[in-house]
Structure 1
Amino acid sequence: MDQDYMIELVSSKMRLIRMERGYTQEKMSEVLGISKKTLVQIEKERTLAGWAHVVAVCALFKNSEALQSVLGDEPLEVIETVAHRSIDRPKGKTMGGKVWWREMKAKGDFRLQQNLISQHYRILDSYDDLWFSTFEKRDAIERLDELAQE
C-alpha cells in the first residue's frame, strides 16, 4: 500500500464517511478545509482528495465504519505506516487484534500480526502495546527476531 492507493481508497469512501456522520457537504467541506465544489468532485469520483486531506479524514473520522471497512480498525496506524514506510518505536496500547488481525508468529514477549483488510504487519508486546508496523513482511519478521533477543 502506498500514498496513491490510500488516496484512492479514502477518496472513494468520502461520501459514505460524510453520510455516516450526518454531515452536509457544507459541514464536511468546512471540517476538511476544502471547498464544497472540491468535495462534490471527490464524492462524484471526478477527482481525488489530496494526501493532506486523506490524513485529515483518517484522523478526524478514525471510527468511521466506512473507513474501517477499507483500512481496518486503526486507520491512523495505517496512514502513519504508509507515510513513514514503517513505525519502529513503542507507540502505545492497542486492542490486541481480536477482530481485524491474524496472528502470524510469536517470539518471546512479542507477537506478529497481519491486518486482514490493509494487509500491513505489526508487532505487539504481551501488554498489547504496538512496537512496530510495516507493509513489508520480511522487515516485520526481522524486527520480531530483534525484539525477542533484546
Structure 2
Amino acid sequence: MNQEQIIEQISRRTLLIRTEAGYSQETMAAVLGMSKKTLVQIEKERTLASWTTVVAMIALFSDSEIIQSLLGDAPLEVVRTVAHNGLDRPKGKTLGGKVWWRGIEQEGQYRIQQNLISQHYRILDADDYVWFSTFDEEEALERFRELLKNQGA
C-alpha cells in the first residue's frame, strides 16, 4: 500500500466515514479544517482528498470500522510507515497482534508480524512495542536479524 492508494481508498469512503461518525457535512468539514464545498466534492468523488486531509481523517477517526477495514487495527501505524517509508524506532505499545496480524517469525524477544489487511510488516518486542515497520518483507527480515544480533551483543 502506498500514499496514493490510501488517499484513493479513504477519499472514496469519506461519506461512509462521516455517516458512521454521525456528523453533518458542516461538522465534518469543520473537524477536518476544510470548506463544506470541498468536502462535498470529495464525497461525490469529483476530487480526491489531500494527503494531509486523509492523515487527519485517519487520526481523528482511527476507531472507525470503515478505516479499520481498509488499514487494520493500527491505521496510524500504516500511515506512519507510508509517510516515513518504514519506521525504525520503538514506537508505541500494541495489543500484540491478536487480531489482524499473522506471525511470520519469532526468535528471542522479537517477532515479525504481517497485517492481514494492509499487508505491512512489523517487528514487536516481548512487551509488544513496535521496533520496525515496513511494506517490504526482505527489509523486515533484515532488520529482524540486526535486532537479534544486537540483542546478543
Q: State the TM-score, normalizing by the size of structure 2.
A: 0.96
Identity of aligned residues (%): 63
- 8 Å contact 1:107–1:144 — kept in the other structure? no
Cα-Cα RMSD: 0.7
Residue number in structure 1 paired with 2:102: 102
Residue 69 of structure 2 corresponds to residue 65 of structure 1: no
Q: Distance in 1 between matches of 2:21 and 2:6?
A: 21
Q: Distance in 1 between matches of 2:70 and 2:92?
A: 23
Deviation of the 1:38 alpha carbon: 1.0
Residue number in structure 2 paired with 1:18: 18
Amino acid at match of 1:57: M
Structure with the largest fraction of strand: 1
Q: Distance in 1 between matches of 2:72 and 2:63?
A: 10
Amino acid at match of 1:95: L
Q: State the TM-score, normalizing by the size of structure 1.
A: 0.98
Residue number in structure 2 paired with 1:88: 88
Kindly tell me the number of residue pairs found equivalent between the two proteins: 150
Q: Which runs of 5+ in 1 are unaligned?
A: none
Q: Which string of whole-angstrom CA distances, capped at 9 and with x for unpartnered residues, describes residues 43-80 of structure 1?
A: 11111000000110111111110100000001110001
Residue number in structure 2 paired with 1:35: 35
Q: Distance in 1 between matches of 2:48 and 2:12?
A: 8
Q: Distance in 2 between matches of 1:92 and 1:51?
A: 23
- 8 Å contact 1:17–1:64 — kept in the other structure? yes
Q: Which string of whole-angstrom CA distances, capped at 9 and with x for unpartnered residues, describes residues 83-142 of structure 1?
A: 010000011210100010000111211000000000000000111111000001110000
Q: Distance in 2 between matches of 1:115 and 1:12?
A: 22
Q: Which runs of 5+ in 2 are unaligned?
A: none
Q: Distance in 1 between matches of 2:12 and 2:70?
A: 10
